[in-house]
Amino acid sequence: MSRREEKRKAYAGMLMPDKKEASGTASKGGGEKICGICKHYMESSWSSDGRGTCNLLKLGSDIKSQPPVYVLEGKDGYPTKTLSDASLCKYFEKMTFIDKDGYECSDPIYRRSMRQLQDKK
């Protein structure tokens, strides 16, 4: 595989909107384990379009494959989304919420913007 193809594969999840994540599953609050409520997750600076990275897993990881692929070495974080299904991820650690609806504080960057997180306890 060329270097460009590898990169494209690694970032594939970020390129196209995932219908499941945009709608169906989302409206019901996602699964119990989604990246957005994991303490290792960091949203993109735009903080509102559902994209982000994992602070722990690195580029090349894939937590949706069976079995999941974990890359722990490297520089760039694993690109994932707030609503990505993390049920297979052994590194998932639920973050501590300050308030129930996922809004950590009034400062923009700390808000979890996705309404689905309103159902998270």
Partner 1 sequence: MAQPALKDTRVEEFEKKQEWWWAAEKRRSGRLDYLRKAIWKKGAIGGLYAPGVKTDLEQAVLTTNMAKSLEGSPDPYVVKSAKLFAHILDNKTIFITDHAQLVGYTGSLPNTMNWNPSIASILNSEVFNDPISIPEPVDKNQAVIQEIVDYWAGKTDLDKMMPVFDIDDLMKMLSGSIGWGVPLARGGYSNKDYEYIMTGNRGFQDIIDELDKKMDEIDDAVHEPTANKEIAMMYDRLNNWEAMRIALEAGIRIAKRYARLARIMAENFEEDPQRKEELLKIAAACEQVPAHPPRNLQESFQYDIFIQMMSRTEAIEGAWPCRPDYYHGPYYDKDVHIDKTLTKEEALDLVGEFLIRAAEVCQFKPKWAREGLQGIDGTWVWTMGGVDEKGKDACNDLTIAFMQAARLVRVANPTFAFRWHPQVKDEVMREVFECIRHGLGYPSIRNDPILVSNAMHWHGHPIEEARLWVHQACMSPNPTTKHGYQPMRMANATANCAKIIEYVFTSGFDPVVNMQVGAETPDVSTFKDFEAFFDAWVLQMRTIFSILVRSVNRARLLAPTMTPRPFLSGLSERCIESGQDTCDPSIARGNAWITAFTWVENADSLAAVKKLVFDEGKYSLAELKDALAKNWNGYEDMRLDFVKNAPKWGNDDDDVDRIMLRCLDACAKFSKELKCPCGNNWPILPENVSGNIHYANIVGALPNGRRLGDALYDGGISPGPGLDKKGPTAVLKSCGKIDHVTQGRAFLLNQRLSPTQLAGEKGFQLWKAYMRTWADLGLDHVQFNMVDDATLRSAQKDPEKYQEVIVRVAGYSAHFVDISRKTQDNIIQRTVQGLG
Where does this chain bind partner 1 (CB under 8 A)?
Answer: 4, 7-8, 11, 14-19, 22-24, 26-27, 42, 44-51, 53-55, 75-77, 79, 106-110, 113-116, 118
Q: How far is the CB of 54 from partner 1 (least distance, A)?
A: 8
Tell me the C-alpha distance between 119 and 18, whole Å.
Answer: 21
- 92 vs 117, beta carbon nearer partner 1: 117
- 16 vs 67, beta carbon nearer partner 1: 16
Q: How far is the CB of 87 from partner 1 (least distance, A)?
A: 21
4, amino acid identity: R
Q: How far is the CB of 38 from partner 1 (least distance, A)?
A: 14
66, amino acid identity: Q
- 28 vs 90, beta carbon nearer partner 1: 28
Beta bridge partners of 38: 94
- The region, left, alpha or beta by phi > 0 then psi within -120 to 50, assigned to residue 32 is alpha
C-alpha atoms less than 13 angstroms from C-alpha of 113 in its C-beta half-sphere: 15
Q: How far is the CB of 84 from partner 1 (least distance, A)?
A: 13
**β-bridge pairing 41-43 and 77-81:** unpaired
